[in-house]
């Protein structure tokens, strides 16, 4: 405990309340999307309340279709001129889940997709003992994740309790950081992103609350954007707006090293 040097009484520290990051206007959001850097490192607040209120809370889709989306809360801050105050609101970024397309050698993934089943790598290793060395060597530092995922997935099959899918979800996220492995490239195919989507859908069906790491959400956004571009789909302005805001909130310092480098260069 820190004491005041004069009164010898304890010093009380008052923490500032949490304030969500503000919404940027559309031109600045487009700049963020292209450069993935902050706009001059400043927070910009819009007073266009009508625009903010008009943003869709959920995509205009049947409820059953929303199972195929990951939902991420987004904080919005806006200024109300007539009342001379700021207001906060939570809306949601809905990211469509894009499943991988298996290549001809990806028999394991192709079979799982056709049956709508989860890829349990330990079960695959049991069914294909000749691939055990390949899989163990590929996951030599992360094999415990595979064991945990398999155990909890089997528990889910027994109980049908979606809560048992939470650990597989989080450990699948962890495995994605080390992908692709040799086993993935030569035998399993991109099963981790497929498993992630499978788990998200199951949790959505059960209306379970959960959240993903920012890096994982970025992967989902990237895959969605690539799918939209490859299929020449109509631009969803609300999604573009929310996605750019997500990047600003999740990665406020992105590009800072590059900007610092430029400053150092200018002072040489």
Q: What is the pLDDT of residues 103-151, one digit of tens each?
A: 998 999 999 999 999 999 999 999 999 999 999 999 999 999 999 999 9
Backbone angles phi, psi at 239, to 5 degrees: -65, -45
Q: What is the pLDDT of residues 43-63, one digit of tens each?
A: 434 445 566 666 666 677 788
How far is C-alpha 201 from the geometric centre of its chain's CA atoms?
A: 14
Q: Which residues of the chain have pLDDT under 70?
A: 1-58, 254-268
| pLDDT computed for residue 63 by the predictor | 80
| Widest CA span in the chain | 77
The residue assigned the tokens 């993903």 is 212
| pLDDT computed for residue 57 by the predictor | 62
| pLDDT computed for residue 87 by the predictor | 77
| pLDDT computed for residue 16 by the predictor | 41
Helices and strands of the chain, counted as H and E runs = 12, 2
| pLDDT computed for residue 267 by the predictor | 38
Query: What pairs with residue 76 in β-bridges?
Result: 89
- Residue-wise over 32-50: b if at least 16 C-beta within 10 A, else e? beeeebbbeeeeeebeeee
The answer to whether the CB of 63 falls within 8 A of the CB of 208 is: no
Q: How many CB atoms lie within 10 A of CB 113?
A: 19
Rounded Cα distance, 199 and 102, in Å: 18
Regarding pTM above 0.85, the answer is no
């Amino acid at each position: 405990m820190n004491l005041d040097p004069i009164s010898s009484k304890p010093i009380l520290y008052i923490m500032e309340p949490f304030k969500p990051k503000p919404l940027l206007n559309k031109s600045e959001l487009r700049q963020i999307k292209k450069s993935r850097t902050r706009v001059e490192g400043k927070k910009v607040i819009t007073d266009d309340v009508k625009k903010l209120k008009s943003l869709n809370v959920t995509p205009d889709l049947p409820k059953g279709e929303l199972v195929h989306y990951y939902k991420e809360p987004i904080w919005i801050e806006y200024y109300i001129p007539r009342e001379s105050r700021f207001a906060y609101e939570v809306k949601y970024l809905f990211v469509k889940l894009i499943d991988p397309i298996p290549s001809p050698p990806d028999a394991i993934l192709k079979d799982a997709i056709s049956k709508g089943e989860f890829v349990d790598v330990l079960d695959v290793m049991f069914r294909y003992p000749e691939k055990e060395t390949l899989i163990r060597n590929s996951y030599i530092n992360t094999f415990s994740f595979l064991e945990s995922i398999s155990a909890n997935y089997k528990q889910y099959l027994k109980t049908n309790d979606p809560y048992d899918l939470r650990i597989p979800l989080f450990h699948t996220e962890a495995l994605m950081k080390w992908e692709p492995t040799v086993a993935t490239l030569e035998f399993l195919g991109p099963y981790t992103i497929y498993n992630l989507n499978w788990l998200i859908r199951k949790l959505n069906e059960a209306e379970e609350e959960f959240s993903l790491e920012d890096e994982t959400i970025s992967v989902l956004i990237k895959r969605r954007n690539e799918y939209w571009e490859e299929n020449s789909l109509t631009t969803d302005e609300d999604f573009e707006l929310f996605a750019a805001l997500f990047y600003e909130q999740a990665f406020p310092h992105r590009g800072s090293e590059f900007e610092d480098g430029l400053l150092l260069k200018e002072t040489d």
